[in-house]
């Protein structure tokens, strides 16, 4: 075993605003000992997700809040070190809720069961946290089930340079739509157009971004793949065409305001605009659709094979840097999937 202790982040207090140093504590604890029906998992990669911030609040999102004193929740990829389970053996790569820790225990109490990754892998393991994992499947469900852009229609994607948005926009392109992104810098916008193939991308930090978005969507908006909410969604709904669809994937601009259930900001969706455009607005959660993962991953792998799906990763080295990296995600530091590299496989 490469380490004699288990470094883990425990939630010390619930954040108010952006995640602060004092919210999490890095401890060194004994490596868990396993019993019958359990396997010891060594974390290799952590996926940083906006949902991490929600799980730190008191809000019950898709899972109960992380308890104060509990190990910070997070999806990841790990390697089985020792197993007393029939379905896992030492050396297997697995995905699941590793948590922000060097080691985790895979057993029947896991909120999401660990699953053994296919061997051989379809590519680098991080693909299975990005476009061929929950990130890609989220984009797939939002576009294919809710947005359903048709050739000639206009689709807008917010946080277009991010993990989900970049995939969603490219699925929209593969379906023949005109796809317009929004992102938080000129460099990101250039990347979204030149490398990811969007038709246009608007930097929402420009003072005239609304005029730019209007100019980029001259025929109005038929589909909104919404990752951000706030002022972006407020403006997008003013341009909806009759029969538009909004795939409400996330509202990241609000999450740093999440503390207690009564304390969060209200999403300022223009209900009147949605009414007037006879639009469909539907939210969804990828973990409600685990049965759809094989179908989605087959589709996404096909797009990669056809050269129609480019993806980016921003890798942060070291478990100790996970809190800073999560905070920086809310400032737009990442392009594509944000990952923490925790350890090399044995
Ligand atoms: N429904 C589901 O099942 C599901 C699953 C996964 C993710 N999601 C949601 O999908 C969205 C994207 O998640 P992701 O994992 O792909 O993250 P991501 O887009 O890779 O990273 C988040 C990005 O959001 C942008 N952002 C952060 N704060 C912002 C703000 N106040 N205003 C505007 N943009 C802001 C930043 O890019 P800029 O530089 O462009 O600002 C940042 O890079 C999130 O809302 C998340 O909650 C939903």
- DSSP state string for 158-181: SSTTBHHHHHHHHHHHHTT-EEEE
Which structure tokens are listed for 274?
């949605």
137 lines ligand 1 (CB under 6 A): no
* Neighbour count for residue 298 (Cβ, 10 Å): 10
Give the pLDDT confidence score for residue 275 in this predicted structure: 86
Give the whole-number percent of the chain exceeding pLDDT 90: 91
Give the whole-number percent of the chain exceeding pLDDT 70: 96
User: Residue with the nearest Cα to atom 45 of ligand 1?
Assistant: 250
- Compute, in angstroms, the gap from residue 106 CA to the centroid of ligand 1: 29
Give the pLDDT confidence score for residue 276 in this predicted structure: 86
Average pLDDT over residues 260-283: 75
Average pLDDT over residues 132-147: 98
User: Residue with the nearest Cα to atom 2 of ligand 1?
Assistant: 285
Give the pLDDT confidence score for residue 3 in this predicted structure: 65
* Neighbour count for residue 69 (Cβ, 10 Å): 9
- Compute, in angstroms, the gap from residue 33 CA to the centroid of ligand 1: 37
Q: Which of 27-31, 149-153, 253-257 has the lowest mean pLDDT?
A: 253-257
Average pLDDT over residues 301-307: 97
| Pairing verdict, β 39-47 and 24-30 | unpaired
Q: How far apart are CA 346 and CA 100, in angstroms?
A: 19
Average pLDDT over residues 271-284: 91
- Compute, in angstroms, the gap from residue 330 CA to the centroid of ligand 1: 8
- pTM for the model stands at 0.96
Residues 220-261 have pLDDT tens digits of: 999 999 999 999 999 999 999 999 999 999 999 999 988 766
Dump the DSSP string for 231-264: HHHHHHGGGEEEEEEEEE---HHHHTT-SSTTTS
Give the pLDDT confidence score for residue 176 in this predicted structure: 98
Nearest to 21 by CA among 339, 338, 324: 324
User: Given pLDDT bands bounded at 50, 70 and 90, which one contains residue 24?
Assistant: very high
Average pLDDT over residues 191-217: 98
Q: How far apart are CA 298 and CA 174, in angstroms?
A: 15
Give the pLDDT confidence score for residue 10 in this predicted structure: 98
Q: Which of 120-124, 159-163, 296-300 has the lowest mean pLDDT?
A: 120-124
Reduced DSSP (H G I as helix, E B as strand, rest coil) percent helix, strand, coil of the chain, to 5: 30, 25, 45
User: Residue with the nearest Cα to atom 27 of ligand 1?
Assistant: 330
Average pLDDT over residues 70-85: 98
Dump the DSSP string for 67-80: PTTSBPP-EEEEEE
User: For the chain, what is the mean pLDDT?
Assistant: 95
181 lines ligand 1 (CB under 6 A): no
Give the pLDDT confidence score for residue 1 in this predicted structure: 45
- Compute, in angstroms, the gap from residue 251 CA to the centroid of ligand 1: 8
Give the pLDDT confidence score for residue 307 in this predicted structure: 97
- Compute, in angstroms, the gap from residue 164 CA to the centroid of ligand 1: 7
Residues 307-324 have pLDDT tens digits of: 999 999 999 999 999 999
187 lines ligand 1 (CB under 6 A): no
The best mutation among 62, 252, 282 to test binding of ligand 1, ranked by most ligand atoms within 8 Å of the C-beta, falls on: 252
- Compute, in angstroms, the gap from residue 329 CA to the centroid of ligand 1: 8
Is the bond into 231 cis (omega within 30 degrees of 0)?
no
- Compute, in angstroms, the gap from residue 87 CA to the centroid of ligand 1: 35
Nearest atom in ligand 1 to the alpha carbon of residue 49 is 15
Give the pLDDT confidence score for residue 261 in this predicted structure: 60
* Neighbour count for residue 117 (Cβ, 10 Å): 18
249 lines ligand 1 (CB under 6 A): yes
Higher pLDDT, 321 or 273: 321
Give the pLDDT confidence score for residue 262 in this predicted structure: 56
Q: Which of 77-81, 96-100, 251-255, 260-264 has the lowest mean pLDDT?
A: 260-264
Determine whether 337 is exposed, middle or buried from the number of CB atoms within 10 Å of its CB (0-12, 13-18, 19+).
buried
- Compute, in angstroms, the gap from residue 128 CA to the centroid of ligand 1: 18
130 lines ligand 1 (CB under 6 A): no
Sheet of strand 178-183: strand arrangement: 200-203, 178-183, 154-157, 221-226, 240-248, 280-283
The best mutation among 227, 232, 290, 315 to test binding of ligand 1, ranked by most ligand atoms within 8 Å of the C-beta, falls on: 227
Tell me the sheet residues that pair with 111: none
Give the pLDDT confidence score for residue 187 in this predicted structure: 98
Q: Is the separation of the CB atoms in 77 and 94 below 8 Å? A: yes
Give the pLDDT confidence score for residue 269 in this predicted structure: 60
């Amino acid at each position: 075993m490469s380490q004699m202790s288990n470094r883990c982040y425990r939630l010390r207090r619930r954040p108010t605003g952006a995640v602060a140093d004092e919210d999490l504590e890095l401890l060194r604890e004994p490596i868990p000992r396993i019993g019958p029906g359990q396997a010891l998992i060594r974390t290799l990669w952590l996926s940083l997700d906006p949902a991490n911030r929600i799980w730190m609040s008191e809000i019950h999102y898709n899972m109960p809040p992380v308890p104060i004193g509990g190990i910070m929740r997070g999806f990841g990829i790990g390697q089985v070190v020792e197993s007393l389970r029939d379905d896992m053996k030492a050396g297997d790569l697995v995905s699941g809720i590793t948590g922000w820790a060097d080691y985790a225990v895979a057993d029947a109490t896991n909120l999401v069961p660990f699953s053994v990754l296919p061997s051989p892998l379809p590519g680098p393991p991080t693909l299975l946290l990005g476009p061929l994992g929950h990130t890609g499947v989220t984009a797939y469900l939002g576009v294919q089930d809710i947005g359903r852009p048709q050739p000639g229609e206009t689709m807008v994607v917010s946080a277009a340079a991010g993990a989900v948005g970049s995939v969603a926009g490219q699925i929209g392109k593969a379906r023949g739509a005109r796809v317009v992104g929004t992102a938080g810098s000129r460099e990101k916008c250039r990347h979204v157009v030149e490398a990811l193939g969007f038709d246009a991308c608007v930097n929402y930090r420009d003072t005239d971004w609304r005029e730019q978005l209007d100019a980029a969507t001259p025929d109005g908006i038929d589909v909104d793949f919404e990752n951000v909410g706030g002022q972006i969604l407020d403006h997008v709904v003013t341009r909806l065409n009759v029969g538009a669809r909004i795939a409400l994937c996330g509202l990241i601009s609000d999450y740093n305001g999440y503390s207690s259930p009564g304390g969060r900001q209200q999403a300022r969706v223009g209900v009147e605009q949605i009414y007037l455009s006879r639009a469909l607005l539907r939210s969804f959660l990828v973990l409600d659709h685990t049965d759809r993962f094989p179908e989605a991953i087959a589709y996404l792998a096909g797009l990669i094979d056809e050269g129609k799906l480019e993806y980016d990763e921003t890798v942060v080295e070291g478990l100790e840097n996970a809190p800073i990296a999560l905070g920086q995600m809310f400032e737009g530091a990442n392009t594509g999937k944000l990952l923490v590299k925790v350890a090399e496989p044995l």
